[in-house]
């Protein structure tokens, strides 16, 4: 892959990601919501349509945010942007992908999950 001419930002954190992940994974959603509400951050819960594959599943880590849009493009630059996205992930991150409710394509499937995991991603909220 050639050097991209599009912005790829990689932020490095200055805390122990594994320690934070372990501590946050012990929290439950209602507690987080209540604390955010107390701090003045209202309406911070995820929509009820977003839920884990199994009720016992939890994920915690720094958010890796992305905006997914459906495109029929076969342009190599679009493909390189997708690959660059995975290369920008940091160990222990959780991909948060905003699809704007689009259901015309698969925004995150087996190939995306495998690529994300290979680049340190530990979970995804799509």
Cα 84 to Cα 67: distance, rounded to the nearest angstrom:
14
Mean pLDDT of 3-32: 77
Instruction: Tell me what pLDDT residue 83 has.
Output: 81
Q: Residue range 74-79: average pLDDT? A: 81
* Phi/psi-derived region of residue 100, left when phi > 0, alpha when psi is between -120 and 50, beta in every other case: left
pLDDT at site 20: 86
Domain ranges of the chain: 17-125
SS3 of residue 98 by DSSP: strand
pLDDT score of 73: 77
How would residue 121 be classed by pLDDT, with cut points 50, 70 and 90? Answer: very high
Cα–Cα distance between 110 and 15 in angstroms, integer? 30
Token pair belonging to 93: 């991150």
Per-residue tokens: 87: 């290369």
On average, the pLDDT of the chain sits at 85
Tokens encoding 12? 């490095």
Q: Is pLDDT above 90 for 32?
A: no
């Amino acid at each position: 892959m050639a050097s991209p001419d599009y912005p790829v930002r990689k932020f490095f954190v200055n805390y122990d990601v594994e320690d934070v992940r372990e501590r946050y994974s012990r929290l439950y959603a209602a507690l987080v919501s209540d604390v955010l509400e107390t701090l003045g951050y209202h309406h911070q819960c995820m929509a009820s349509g977003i839920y884990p594959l199994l009720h016992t599943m939890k994920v915690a880590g720094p958010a890796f945010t992305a905006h997914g849009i459906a495109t029929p493009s076969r342009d190599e630059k679009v493909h390189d942007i997708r690959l660059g996205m995975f290369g920008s992930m940091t160990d222990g991150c959780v991909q948060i992908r905003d699809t704007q409710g689009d259901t015309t394509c698969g925004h995150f499937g087996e190939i995306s999950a495998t690529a994300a995991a290979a680049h340190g991603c530990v979970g995804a909220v799509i």
